[in-house]
A and B are shown apart, each in its own frame.
Chain A
Amino acid sequence: MHDEVKAQLLDRAEMSMTDLESGLAQLYQGSIDYADIYLQSSHHESWVLEDGIVKSGSFSIDRGLGVRAVEGEKTGFAYADDISTAALKQTAAAARGIAAAGQQKTVQALTATAAPSLYLPDNPLSAWKETQKIDILNAVDRHAKKQDPRISEVTVSLTAVYEHILVVATDGTLATDIRPLVRLNCSVLATQNGRRERGSAGGGGRFTYDYFAQRNERGQPRHFAFAEEAVRQALVNLEAEEAPAGKMPVVLGPGWPGVLLHEAVGHGLEGDFNRKGSSAFAGKMGQQVASKGVTVIDDGTLENRRGSLSVDDEGTPSQHNVLIEDGRLVGYMQDKLNARLMGMPATGNGRRESFAHLPMPRMTNTYMLGGEHSPDEIIGSVKNGIYAPYFAGGQVDITSGKFVFSASEAYLIENGKITRPIKGATLIGNGPASMQQISMIGNDLALDTGIGVCGKDGQSVPVGVGQPTLKLDAMTVGGTG
């Protein structure tokens, strides 16, 4: 257990582990099967540059506790934005109200979860002086503007979250985590002959802001790389023509287009939807659900990644979970409740937005393993189709399997060559069917730069995605041409 977590969450509230044990004992009575207490403090800051000046900065602290009691499939949940013994007693009484009072049961002895830390416990808010934060914003602004005279209206934002969590449960779980998370984003407007287009790029992960000043694999300081990428996208879009409409072959670029996997299969393989039989993938365990060669993984153990967690929000260490292996469905993502109800192990995917939200099965970093084809070979195989290297986001209806994702940068492929840029368009497909349409897998697996936010039932959590260049033989492209 981190001493710093104890100091931040318990000592400051003049609470001790004994108080948490009493809380669990108060919850664990009669027909209650499981209960947990989640303590969290979260420091957040955000700085925004616009019109060449640092216009605003904001800071917030959220501290609180969430208490959950489970009986069968039934969950009672209460929370308070205050960490104190009084708040704990009050929320515990409310949460356990779902079941009749009964005999007190013995809580398992609390044992600290041993999970290697996947990120350093450094506080990104305090690791840099305010003047350093201002300097990097200004540097990105200047760098973006000097790329091209058509660039104006540069917006740069810098945000950091520093979180401490502690979770105890009646099954003996005692886990803590310290989670830093930073993000830098640059958005620009390009203007030419009265036409205006925006471009935007950014990234981050579980680091301090040092990450942005460091050089990337291509030897460029990362903050400059984001500025150049935003400019490049805006300028490409200035030239974009109407996108075609209809079914055609689609080649997706590596990295962020992994949004495809997140929407087409990821959500459909979350335990809750499969327990309830509401997922298009329900009951398909062991079956061929994707083309041969397709292996999809959800991995919370990648060091410093945006979607990674040393332990999930139920105290389960995160894992490398294979979801689809060579096209066959082999695994779901589970939290404790759904794992227990389905008779499966928890997989470290129990996540919650904050103490004020219930945990549920969520993705971490979801990606597809690379294949054997070079990207050129894949594009060369398409007579008429589109190449889409960048997306704005997506959505899925897990029951029908229908999903969309919107390209923000795309090109026509004509006779095996990338020719003209086309306007952003929404692509629509059916998850299970699209997975069978994958005909070529690139050898260039890449993960995204650290920008993903996943929403489910009104809760947002940071996630990662990745994939190699991919060819789908047919997808519906929603252009106007």
Chain B
Amino acid sequence: MSGQSNDQRKLLQADMQQAQEAVQEALAFAKSLGASAAECGLSQSRGLSVDSRLGEVETVEFNQDGSLGITVYRGHCKGAAATADLKPDAVKAAVSKANEIARFTSEDPYSGLADKALMADDYPELGLYFDANMDPEYAIEQTKRCEQAALDQDPRIVNSDGANYSSHAGFRVYGNSHGFIGSYMSSRQSLSCVLIGKEGDVMERDYAYTLARNPDLLQSPQQVAAAAVEATVSRLGARSLDTCKVPVLFHSDVAHGLFGHLVAAISGGSLYRKSSYLLDRLGTRVLPDWLTISEDPHVQGGLASSAFDHEGVRTEPREIVTNGELNTYLLTSYAARKMGMQPTGHAGGIHNWYVQHSGLDLDALCKKMGRGLLVTELMGQGVNIVTGDYSRGAAGFWVENGEIQYPVSEVTIAGNLDHMLQNLVAVGSDIDPRHGIQTGSVLVEQMSIAGN
């Protein structure tokens, strides 16, 4: 890489060094105010985002974001404050404010830092930072090339909502009054393209994108263009369906969302509020017995890799679901204390989930389904984690005799998550690598489709 990129890494390293000092000073100041414990997180990110549309640059945006968050404990009373200004005075003001708030909040026996023994004292370097190209001229060229390739490819593409290139790099520092301090740098780039196709009077829009930490793993502008064209053109001529009950195949573009609902349902916050359909279901069947979901937080360069969570707790590889049985909840130290359990290193979210697949590609899954709906887009919220009731807008393709027949839109799909997930028929090998939850397409036994 060029000398400029080396500078970028060094600059970031120097800033991260300063940020560590700011975190230490904030913690020391909290202590001097009489706090019994404190924790502080600081993240910063720099980069650019460029949009081109119809061959012209539309926006060139230079991003620079950062914030320091401090939580102060006075016994079991807690106060929090945040500041974007990292000058010593502003940080001190934030700490004072958090300390002040802790005088008014109630005694909560479950609040506090995670146990010292759980801190990730020796944490591995996970290689989440790669030198990235942040030159606006390069970004402009990528977007223009991508969009032009798309516009040239198919006459049914009549308009474009543009192409975007983003590149960001930054770091996160976390420290607490146990003496733990950890930090890491990370980067990510993406290229996306949104197209508009037309048939008769009806316009349809779709997109494609590529996203990676390592720029060498990005798809080329031509690949993104081809995927966007395919997605957009294939939607033209969409119609609704008659109301029916059929199997539903969630395309890998959207299938991760199903397991995202599982994340919400087994997260401590939902459980201790008794607001999950998976309450008291640890050790019971939540997926079919052929399915295992494993989590590996320590994948080098992984999108959702982290060596410690937002409380400094060491993360560990584990199985979330083993042969269909729920193996663990996802607990912060607070949730763990409330539930009389151990924290699992999930403060701030999950880390690289791998959903085991059945070895079938998308075509084979369509064949297995025979007759049903392949869903490529979901709309709206419509998911109730308390009851598992699921009802969302959908678009995709009608499949008959294992073959795609025609595009479908303006339908809803409905069911209950518990029933849907326990009765999965198959998971595809067509894994989407752009998410923290890596899964292929997912075939659900049966759902209610509402249409005409």
Contact = CB atoms under 8 A, between A and B. Distances in A.
B409 A400 contact: yes
Interface stretch (B9-17, B100-108, B145-153): B100-108
A54 B196 contact: no
B246 interface: no
Contacts of A124: none
A191 B84 CA distance: 42
B291 to A, nearest CB: 24
A152 B203 contact: no
A75 B60 contact: yes
A152 B386 CA distance: 14
A406 B101 contact: no
A191 B274 contact: yes
B79 interface: yes
Contact of A428 (B384, B410, B416): B410
Contacts of A397: 205, 379
Interface of B: 53, 56-67, 78-85, 90, 93-94, 97-98, 101-108, 111, 136, 159, 161, 196, 202-205, 238, 240, 243, 273-275, 279, 379-382, 384, 386-387, 389, 391-393, 395, 409-416, 448-452
Interface of A: 50-51, 53-64, 72-82, 91, 94-95, 97-98, 130-131, 133-134, 152-153, 155, 189, 191, 195-198, 243, 245-247, 276-278, 280, 356, 358, 392-395, 397-400, 402-406, 423-430, 476-481
Contact of A395 (B78, B136, B393, B448): B393
A245 B136 contact: no
B56 A428 contact: no
Contacts of A59: 80-82, 94, 97-98, 101
Given A243-B391, A247-B243, A477-B450, 19 more contacts: A53-B106, A53-B107, A57-B79, A60-B94, A61-B93, A63-B85, A75-B60, A95-B62, A276-B53, A356-B65, A402-B395, A403-B379, A426-B391, A476-B450, A477-B412, A478-B382, A478-B392, A479-B414, A480-B391
Q: Is the interface of A mostly helix, strand, loop or mixed?
A: strand
Given A189-B275, A476-B410, A480-B415, A246 B450 contact: yes
**5 nearest A-B residue pairs (beta carbon):** A478-B412, A404-B393, A53-B106, A399-B205, A404-B380
Contact of A247 (B60, B82, B103, B452): B452
B229 to A, nearest CB: 15
Contacts of A131: 104
A196 B393 CA distance: 25
B104 A130 contact: yes
B112 to A, nearest CB: 12
A63, A246, A427: most-surrounded residue (chain B CB, <10 A) = A246
Given A246-B451, A406-B391, A428 B411 contact: yes
Contact of A246 (B106, B243, B279): B243
A55 B111 contact: yes
Contact of B61 (A73, A77, A197): A77
A245 B57 CA distance: 46
Contact of A73 (B58, B60, B111, B382): B58
Contacts of B415: 480
A81 B63 CA distance: 10
Given A400-B205, A424-B382, A77 B410 contact: no
B59 A75 contact: yes
Nearest to A155: B273
